[in-house]
Amino acid sequence: MKKGASYLRYAAAAVFLAAAAWTLAFFIGREQSPETVRAERAEVRISVVAEGTVWRRETVLVCDDDGAYLARKPGDRVSGGSVVAVENSVLDDYLTHLELSGGAQPDKGEMRGLTFAPEAGIFSTFVDGLEACSLEDICSAEPFIPQGAVGKIVSGGWYFIAETPETDKLRRGMSVTLSLPDEVSATVISAENGKVVLRCRDGLEDVVNTRRAALRITISEAQGIKIPDKALHRDESGTFVYVMRAGLAERCDVDILHTGDGYVLVREGEIREGMQIIQ
């Protein structure tokens, strides 16, 4: 028994001396005491910036008279059946009607030369000839602007069809956030072959005059330990860092959640907030 106990003591001492020798060699190899950084808990937003096309339900309004009077300002929300444009030839009659009726607009058929909103929505004077295209065809369609177009009514939600090499981060049905710059929620309709289609119910007023846009898509938020990427090491067993513990350099395996500019976010576990990481 004494012989076995002595053997264990010798073995433990040998392990300690080997670790101390390795740490000393590690320090000498650096020719100075190791530079360390404190492990900090952090939260990052994982996002991509994608350029794409905006599709929405929109109806072009046509007035036969050149230089028609617009009864609505761009950006106004209008109700279905309200007057949007007036031919110049009947403008005096229209203004007289408003004055005599206390501002009440004429009904359809009551006066010629009027253009009415076909449905409720946002009035816009931005017409690019792609208003009649389907969601599937808008990225390849040829524009066509009808003669006498004075604007359009835009209603409902909208879609963003974007090109990005990072479709592997997205999946159908996933909820993401778009920056317009205000943040609005969107749903992934499809994501494959470098193309993603998002459906958004809010923020229409921010894209009503936009066809092409570069938008930030926030996919998720991650929490973990933020460490400099220069502290990372790799071998056949995986990715790890060295931390100082009781004056010795100790290996800690890490699971990378996100790679940023000059840093990585790793899962909190073997490595914890407050540890001193050797850079």
Tell me what percent of the residues of the chain surpass a pLDDT of 90.
Answer: 62
First to last CA, the chain: 45
pTM above 0.85, yes or no: no
* pLDDT above 70 coverage of the chain, percent: 88
For the ranges 63-67, 81-85, 257-261, the lowest mean pLDDT is seen at 63-67
Return the structure tokens found at 58: 């929109």
Q: Assess contact for 61 and 78: CB atoms under 8 A.
A: no
d(CA 223, CA 207): 32
The arithmetic mean of pLDDT across residues 65-77, rounded, is 88
What DSSP state is assigned to residue 35? P
Position 6 scores a pLDDT of: 58
**CB neighbourhood size of 129 (10 A):** 15
Mapped onto helix, strand or coil, the DSSP state of residue 7 is: helix
Residue 107 — very low, low, confident or very high, per pLDDT cuts 50/70/90? confident
Of the pLDDT bands very low, low, confident and very high (cuts 50, 70, 90), residue 21 is: low
How far apart CA 100 and CA 91 sit, in angstroms, is 14
Convert the pLDDT of each residue in 148-202 to its tens digit: 999 999 999 999 999 999 888 899 999 999 999 889 999 999 999 999 999 999 9
Give Cα 240 to chain centroid, integer Å: 31
Rounded Cα distance, 235 and 248, in Å: 20
Q: Scan for tokens 């009551």, then name that residue.
A: 110
**pLDDT tops 80 at residue 4:** no
pLDDT at residue 201, as a whole number: 94
C-alpha pair distances (Å), 3 with each of 8, 12, 17, 23: 9, 14, 21, 30
pLDDT band at 269 (very low <50, low <70, confident <90, very high): confident
The confidence score (pLDDT) of residue 28 equals: 47
For the chain, the structural domain boundaries read 1-31, 48-221
Tokens of 66: 């050149």
- Give the chain's radius of gyration (CA, Å): 33
**The pLDDT of residue 19:** 53
